[in-house]
Amino acid sequence: MNIASVIVDVPAKQTDREFDYSIPDKWINVVKPGMRVIVPFGPRMVQGFVTGLKNETELKKLREIKEILDLEPVLNEELLRLGNWLTDETMCFRITALQAMLPAALKAKYEKVLRIHEGRKELVDERVRAAFRDRKFISWKDVLQEDNAALFQKQVQKGNLEVIYYVKDKLNKKTVRFVEPLLTSEELAQYAGTLAASAKKQYEVLQFFIENPGKIQLRTLLEAVKASNGTIKALAKKNILAERDEEIYRDPYENRVFDKTSPFKLTEEQSAALRPIQKSIKENSHDVFLLYGVTGSGKTEIYLQAIDAVIKKGEEAIMLVPEISLTPQTVKRFKERFGEQVAVMHSGLSIGEKYDEWRKIHRKEVKVVVGARSAIFAPFENLGVIIIDEEHESSYKQEETPRYHARDVAIQRANQHNCPVILGSATPALESFARAKKEIYQLLTLSKRMNNSQLPQVEIVDMREELRAGNRSMFSENLFAKLKDRLQKGEQTVLLLNKRGHSSFVMCRSCGLVINCPNCDISLTYHRFNDSLKCHYCGHEEDIPKTCPECGSDHIRFFGTGTQKVEEELVKILPEARVIRMDVDTTSRKGSHERLLNRFQEGHADILLGTQMIAKGLDFPNITLVGVLSADTMLHLPDFRSSEKTFQLLTQVSGRAGRHKLAGEVVIQTYTPEHYSIELSGMQDFDAFYEREMHIRRQSLYPPYYYVALINISHEDLMKTAATTEKIAKYVSAGLSPEAMVLGPVASPISRIKNRYRYQCLIKYKREPQLKQLLRTLLEHYQQETAQNHLQISIDLNPQIMM
């Protein structure tokens, strides 16, 4: 086939379709769907994805593919189809969907060279060998010039040739120098006997290889025999030893030894939950399981054993974990069980490291990927299970295009692979639990904690009472007493500061002015670190004013409680306590997250103080107290899920206490103790919360009873923003059935970001098959204005954040 259909990297409405290009004769059979190519587009050269091959086209004149960027497809057929599905589901451009499935490194510019694989020279086709002449590398560009690219490609597929990518910006593969003897042990000994007495070091090196045959890293060898590089060079020159560079993966977990663990003997509850999963794995059946298990009930062990069954069957597994609980502790549990078969993908890795992990999957060197949201696109070809831990987490939804939810992608992929999906949580999303109740998902329940440990005792403290009683500190009497008690006993405490919702802002006490960002309608956050104010949306930074810009008063101070402030207060009231603080500031450096947790685990601190990032995944035996400093900050967000999110967070963090032998206690401080999500999280009663919240959702017509879609409109001109939103709301309203509701236009909760005004309208509906088409028409109508970026319209068909 000599014509390729290509999706070009020009994200715009008019170019959002396949374009036909002819394949130069020399590349017929080389170009395959899923490869990236360079093609002429208008006056420029652009990148694109080959999505299909054919023999005929309606076009009279075709332009030619200019360059091939990959030797093997980077997207397999299933992922290409998934791209179409993503495009349709999230209403994004096709190019955006395809790119979202690849690691960032593949979007960078790089050069490819080929090398003959070590020890395979004899196997390489003669014509290819000839092309190398005496060179170690030849560039892919040169190969493309010649007429036998297919020949090279075949050698790559056979593993005789190796492709090396040299990427600008440090992306080249990392290599390490190895040394290995070219003679047998006997020959080495023989040769050693002939050495001059002065060549003492050479003698020792030979001795080393006689005792430790085989290759070794140069650095390790030099350290072991205390020899210099010159000694090795001398022996290499005489063809006794050979030196060579080998590529190694930038493995963030290298130099770490993971002791192999074996599966636990499951409890009865666990076995009952695992059985239907194993059955579905065995029978290749596409079932979705909701594993609803209280905190510390051993869900992870079930994941591990399900993955084990999948590997034994010769298939692969995707294990998704929310970004913030993708802690070293979590990764360790998988590496300990499956060793080298695990790839890890999360945002803490550098672009190069991520790319290396992706390649391990692409080259079929691993069987399992443990990763955050985007690992759902791991290019496995024989998926046997997809698992999503903490499935209720909002970070599984991508908040930029393509606006996909990993849960939906998981179900779609598992459907293609005929394999099960396991969604696990102690506090499932309302939508998921409702589906389980309707038996769309199969519900599996773990109601008991491991080791027969009890769920912790929870006390709710009314902070208004504290204030009335004269306690102005951020610690209630009760929490303070318990903190002291743990210090005496040498037990550990986790303190959660719920920062989402509000943080430290600066306010004038005389006139009440709050210092806002000049570009965004949101208060600036105080950063003690460099004594400045910062906008979390646009990055704007300024000094704290000495006097109020409004009334000139000098009574200007910051409000709200940041982790730093809590830390200072702790030092004051409990000077003997050793505190580890974990927040964005202390964990921004690579590896710091792990270091802090290790220090805490090893007992170098009494209190772990932090934001949301400490609420999940911790499984330390010595934690017996959890304190929540401000339970209600999230309750006041303008979001129909705010109660649900509050309940989930409080339940999760409470679950960190008393997971092993020692019993746990939790103190939740709040200004609204009567709110049901606080009250019920105190009782750790998800089922009651579910009933209560479902009732409210039914009355207020929100998911899971109704679907919602959010249209966000932004423009630099306020009038224009409001007027356009008005028009859009009318248009949508007219196109939908009378049962659908269009709320708005209203200003968004954050009504301005980066100097653009923001308006929105919310659509609530039950069944509107024409909705997507209607919205597509809408986008086409405003196409010209949005292409010039004056107007921005974003549509979210399943919004998780209502800002």
Q: How far apart are CA 180 and CA 242, in angstroms?
A: 5
What does 619 bind: ligand ATP, Zn ion, none (CB cut-off 5 to 8 Å by kind)?
ligand ATP
Q: At a CB cut-off of 8 Å and minimum separation 6, what does 73 contact? A: 32, 33, 34, 35
Query: Is position 92 annotated in a ligand binding site?
Result: no
**Least gap, CB of 802 to Zn ion (angstroms):** 19
**Least gap, CB of 617 to ligand ATP (angstroms):** 6
Q: How far apart are CA 674 and CA 651, in angstroms?
A: 17
Residue closer to ligand ATP by CB (options 560, 664) is: 664
Q: How far apart are CA 620 and CA 390, in angstroms?
A: 19
Q: Note whether 264 binds ligand ATP by CB under 6 A.
A: yes
Q: How far apart are CA 576 and CA 570, in angstroms?
A: 9
Nearest CA to 509 out of 467, 551, 452 is that of 551
Half-sphere exposure of 7 (CA within 13 A, CB side): 22
Answer for which of 266, 574, 577, 779 binds ligand ATP (CB under 6 A) is 266
What does 519 bind: ligand ATP, Zn ion, none (CB cut-off 5 to 8 Å by kind)?
Zn ion
Stretch that binds ligand ATP, among 288-296, 375-383, 456-464, 538-546 (CB under 6 A): 288-296
**Least gap, CB of 648 to Zn ion (angstroms):** 29
**Least gap, CB of 316 to Zn ion (angstroms):** 43
Which residues, 427 to 486, sit near ligand ATP by CB under 6 A? 450
What does 205 bind: Zn ion, ligand ATP, none (CB cut-off 5 to 8 Å by kind)?
none
What does 298 bind: Zn ion, ligand ATP, none (CB cut-off 5 to 8 Å by kind)?
ligand ATP
Which residues, 521 to 560, sit near Zn ion by CB under 5 A? 535, 537-538, 540, 548, 550-551, 553
Q: CB neighbours (10 Å) of residue 712?
A: 18
Q: How far apart are CA 49 and CA 34, in angstroms?
A: 6
Which residues, 606 to 635, sit near ligand ATP by CB under 6 A? 617, 619
Question: How many helical (H) and strand (E) elements, i.e. helices and strands, does the chain have?
Answer: 25, 34
Answer for which of 301, 391, 632, 796 binds ligand ATP (CB under 6 A) is 301
Residue closer to Zn ion by CB (options 229, 553) is: 553
Query: Is position 419 annotated in a ligand binding site?
Result: no
**Least gap, CB of 368 to ligand ATP (angstroms):** 17
Q: Note whether 295 binds ligand ATP by CB under 6 A.
A: yes
Q: How far apart are CA 157 and CA 136, in angstroms?
A: 19
Q: Note whether 655 binds ligand ATP by CB under 6 A.
A: yes
Stretch that binds Zn ion, among 170-178, 257-265, 520-528, 569-577 (CB under 5 A): 520-528
Q: How far apart are CA 524 and CA 504, in angstroms?
A: 8
Q: Note whether 519 binds Zn ion by CB under 5 A.
A: yes
Query: Is position 538 annotated in a ligand binding site?
Result: yes
Q: What is the DSSP letter of 667?
A: E
Stretch that binds ligand ATP, among 26-34, 258-266, 472-480, 765-773 (CB under 6 A): 258-266
**Least gap, CB of 320 to ligand ATP (angstroms):** 14
Query: Is position 511 annotated in a ligand binding site?
Result: yes
**Least gap, CB of 693 to ligand ATP (angstroms):** 20
Q: How far apart are CA 370 and CA 372, in angstroms?
A: 7
Q: In what order do the strands lie in the sheet with 63-64?
A: 63-64, 18-22, 3-8, 44-54, 36-41, 67-68
**Least gap, CB of 593 to ligand ATP (angstroms):** 17
Stretch that binds ligand ATP, among 251-259, 298-306, 338-346, 573-581 (CB under 6 A): 298-306
Q: Is the distance from CB of 520 to CB of 535 less than 8 angstroms? A: yes
Q: Note whether 426 binds ligand ATP by CB under 6 A.
A: yes
| Axis crossing angle, helix 328-338 with helix 299-312, rounded to the nearest 10 | 40
**Least gap, CB of 271 to ligand ATP (angstroms):** 9
Q: CB neighbours (10 Å) of residue 164?
A: 16
Residue closer to Zn ion by CB (options 467, 551) is: 551
38 - beta bridge partners?
Answer: 47, 67
Contacts of residues 474-478 at CB distance under 8 Å and 24 or more positions apart, as own/partner, are 474/561, 474/566, 474/569, 474/629, 475/569, 475/573, 475/627, 475/629, 476/667, 476/669, 478/667
**Least gap, CB of 674 to ligand ATP (angstroms):** 27
DSSP secondary structure of 506-536: EEETTT--B-B-SSSSSBPEEEGGGTEEE-T
If you compute the radius of gyration of the chain from its CA atoms, what whole number of angstroms results? Answer: 30
Q: How many residues bind ligand ATP (CB under 6 A)?
A: 18
What does 232 bind: Zn ion, ligand ATP, none (CB cut-off 5 to 8 Å by kind)?
none
What does 167 bind: Zn ion, ligand ATP, none (CB cut-off 5 to 8 Å by kind)?
none
β-strands 623-628, 665-670 pairing: parallel
Is 260 exposed, middle or buried, given 0-12, 13-18 or 19+ CB atoms closer than 10 A?
exposed
Which residues, 479 to 518, sit near Zn ion by CB under 5 A? 508, 510-511, 513, 517
Answer for which of 520, 613, 778, 795 binds Zn ion (CB under 5 A) is 520
β-strands 421-425, 288-293 pairing: parallel
Q: The tokens of 115 are what?
A: 């090398």
Q: Note whether 293 binds ligand ATP by CB under 6 A.
A: yes
3-state secondary structure of 123: helix
Q: What is the DSSP letter of 547?
A: S
Annotated binding site: which residue ranges? 508, 511, 517, 520, 535, 538, 548, 551
Residue set of the binding site for Zn(2+): 508, 511, 517, 520, 535, 538, 548, 551
Residues that bind ligand ATP (CB under 6 A): 264-267, 270, 293, 295-301, 426, 450, 617, 619, 655
- Binding residues for Zn ion, rule: CB under 5 A, are 508, 510-511, 513, 517, 519-520, 535, 537-538, 540, 548, 550-551, 553
